[in-house]
Amino acid sequence: MDSALSLEGVSKRYGRFEAVKDLSFAVEPGTICGFLGPNGAGKTSTLRMILGLTDPNAGRITVLGADNGGKVRDRIGFLPEERGLYRKMTPVDAIAFFAALKGVPMGEGRKRARRLLEEQGLADSMKKPMKALSKGMAQKVQLMASIAHEPELVILDEPFSGLDPVNQEGLEQIIRGLASRGATVLFSTHVMQHAERLCQKVVLLAKGRKVFEGSVAAARAEAPMHLEIEGRVTAADVAALPGVAAVESVAVEGEEDGVYAHSASLAKTADPQAALKAAFSRGLDVRRFEMKPPTLHDAFIVLTGGDR
């Protein structure tokens, strides 16, 4: 199956500054892909090139089979990082206007706008001007304006920023809904929990370069496993266990002297079971032993070299 989106050796320079360097990745149709990276990693520059707003200095971008996002703009939905709509327009008019720009007849656009607003609990705000809406409401309206034309590819730049937890949950549902009807979703975010819950695939960028592309599980595997060990055990005892690369220890409050809580990082290829066996065989006074698999957040820190 052809990719919904593919980049091959894409670079973008602004004067002497190289924002994106030799970037290649692909997103399959119907998948949700997280586009992750610290500030200034080149995410927004890449998204703008995908949309055809700016041209790459090198490389090739294919979007929904076209060599320029601009040629298939009617099939793409885009929510920029810095959001805003016409302040005097009503939500219905705003959604219908942007849907009309993407080829949806104005009457049909209004119908869809009303339905989407009702689904999102904004029925009461349909006739208010945008300037009268709260920031969260306005953000929802803009998201609806970017998907009312039922695009095949949805690009969301930091869609969760500025939303409260309830609205974040609502947005996650919308994104899942888009994917379930076959749309491809590419979104950038700093909040790894969202990516962890939503994405089948993540692409990590650091200083303009891709540092990872693959599934969330594969990304996690790039980060070390952690062991949480508690008991009358010294840091040296924990450090001597097989596979332990580093230990951080604190005394446990409310316990007698000599009881510590240790957090041990394992080497990438280490087997946590071997450490557990060794602890028992060495007769260590262990009261709690817990294996903690790495999170996407851990992977993000490791893969981007802590460059946040």
Partner 1 sequence: MRRMFLIARREYFAYARTVGFWLSMLVLPMFILLGASLPGYMRDSAPLRHVAVVDLSGAGVGAELTAAVERNRVKDVADDLRDAAVAEAGPEKADSVRDAAEKEGVEAGVARLKAVAPRTAAAWRTPASKVRVIAPPTDVAAARTVADAERALRPYIEGDRTLAGDRTLDAAVILTMRNGEPAARFWSKGVTDTRAEDTIRDGLEEVVKARRLAAAGVTPEQARELETVRPRLDVFSTRSASGQAVEFRDRLPGLIGFIFGMLLWSTIITGASILLNSVMEEKSNRVLEVLLSSASTTEILAGKVTGVAAITATVLGVWSAFGALALAGVASAAPGIVGDFVSVLTEGGLIVYLLIYLIGGYLMYALLFAAIGAFCETPREAQTLLGPIMILLSAPIIVLQLAIRTPDMALVKILSWVPLFTPFLMPARITAEPPLVEVIGTMVGMGLTAAFMIWLGGKAFRAGALSTAKLDWKGVFALLRRER
Which of 86, 80, 46 shows the shortest CA–CA distance to 63? 46
* CB-nearer residue toward partner 1: 63 or 204: 63
Contacts for 270 with CB less than 8 Å, ≥ 6 apart: 224, 225, 242, 243, 244, 245
78 binds partner 1 (CB under 8 A): yes
Residues in contact with partner 1, shown as a per-residue x/- string from 5 to 44 under the rule CB under 8 A: ---------xx-----------------------------
For residue 199, the SS3 value is coil
300 binds partner 1 (CB under 8 A): no
Q: How far apart are alpha carbons 32 and 18 in whole angstroms? A: 28
103 binds partner 1 (CB under 8 A): yes
With contact defined as beta carbons under 8 Å apart, do 14 and 208 qualify?
Answer: no
- Interface residue with partner 1 among 2, 9, 60, 86 (CB under 8 A) is 86
142 binds partner 1 (CB under 8 A): yes
Contacts for 1 with CB less than 8 Å, ≥ 6 apart: 28, 29
Q: How far apart are alpha carbons 199 and 295 in whole angstroms? A: 14
Q: How far apart are alpha carbons 183 and 180 in whole angstroms? A: 7
113 binds partner 1 (CB under 8 A): no
51 binds partner 1 (CB under 8 A): yes
100 binds partner 1 (CB under 8 A): yes
First to last CA, the chain: 35
In the complex, what is the shortest distance from the CB of residue 16 to partner 1, in angstroms, rounded to a whole number?
A: 11
With contact defined as beta carbons under 8 Å apart, do 19 and 12 qualify?
Answer: yes
Dihedral pair phi/psi, residue 203, rounded to 5°:
-120, 125
* CB-nearer residue toward partner 1: 106 or 250: 106
Residues in contact with partner 1, shown as a per-residue x/- string from 244 to 273 under the rule CB under 8 A: ------------------------------
* CB-nearer residue toward partner 1: 52 or 243: 52
In the complex, what is the shortest distance from the CB of residue 85 to partner 1, in angstroms, rounded to a whole number?
A: 6
Q: How far apart are alpha carbons 22 and 227 in whole angstroms? A: 37
Considering CB under 8 A, how many residues would be counted as binding partner 1?
Answer: 30
* CB-nearer residue toward partner 1: 129 or 242: 129
What residues line the site for partner 1 (CB under 8 A)?
14-15, 48, 51, 53-55, 57, 70, 73, 76, 78-80, 82-88, 97-98, 100-103, 142, 145-146
